[in-house]
Amino acid sequence: MSITDIKTVAIAGAGTMGALIAQTFASHGYTVVLWNRSEAGLARGRSIMAENLDTVPPAERDAVPSIITMTTDPACFRDADFVLESIAEDLEVKKAFYRQLEPLLKETCLVSTNTSGLSITALAEAFASPERFCGMHWINPANLIPLIEVISGEATAPETAQTVYALAEALEKKPIRVKDVPGFALNRLQFAVLREALHMVETGAASMEDVDKAMKYGLGLRYACIGPFETADLGG
């Protein structure tokens, strides 16, 4: 499957991430189905999208909710060209869901998970066709943060990862390719900073407030424009 073959997208999980991911796909013209196991979850998803429609271009605000079908019926996955799972961050819960999901899918349907750190290779063990599966990690808030991590597990077909990468670009996101390592890329960087921040406060080098200010008014602003390798190159 190529990017041009993806017309209908099914999102599994109507929480904060799933709802805003569905909104993002809908605002870019995709037919979107948002599935949740309960009606209460769907109601929560509607509320989340309603609160965030100000991020959608004004001309599209009325159209976006109307083109998202919300359902608790798993039959909705039968017509999907692409499925993105964003349910509970639990390895066994996700694998059980995949085992129920895969028999419903078209042979050409690709599947991704929005996990922020679970092993893609381990999750893929639930699939009879693991080559169609990869990670597509969105960053909260999903409708605003440009970064998407596309993670390949050991069994992920290169074509699958490339199509998901291209799909992220079609959504005007900034995707990166990452191998299936613990924490992927963003969280490894984030926790490296947090470890040093905690050490500085613990040793009395700076207060929590001043460490936060160093990030907000210094590194944070600079890294929004140039990354650490670009910074090193610029400084010589």
Active-site hit among 116, 119, 129, 131: 116
119 is catalytic: no
Active-site hit among 52, 85, 112, 149: 149
Active-site hit among 27, 36, 85, 137: 137
187 is catalytic: yes
Active-site hit among 28, 60, 119, 187: 187
149 is catalytic: yes
The 3 state secondary structure assigned to the chain is: CCHHHCCEEEEECCCHHHHHHHHHHHHCCCEEEEECCCHHHHHHHHHHHHHHHHHCCHHHCCHHHHCEEEECCHHHHHHCCEEEECCCCCHHHHHHHHHHHHHHCCCCCEEEECCCCCCHHHHHCCCCCHHHEEEEEECCCCCCCCEEEEEECCCCCHHHHHHHHHHHHHCCCEEEEEECCCCCCHHHHHHHHHHHHHHHHHCCCCCHHHHHHHHHHHHHHHHCCCCHHHHHHHHC
Active site residues: 116, 137, 149, 187
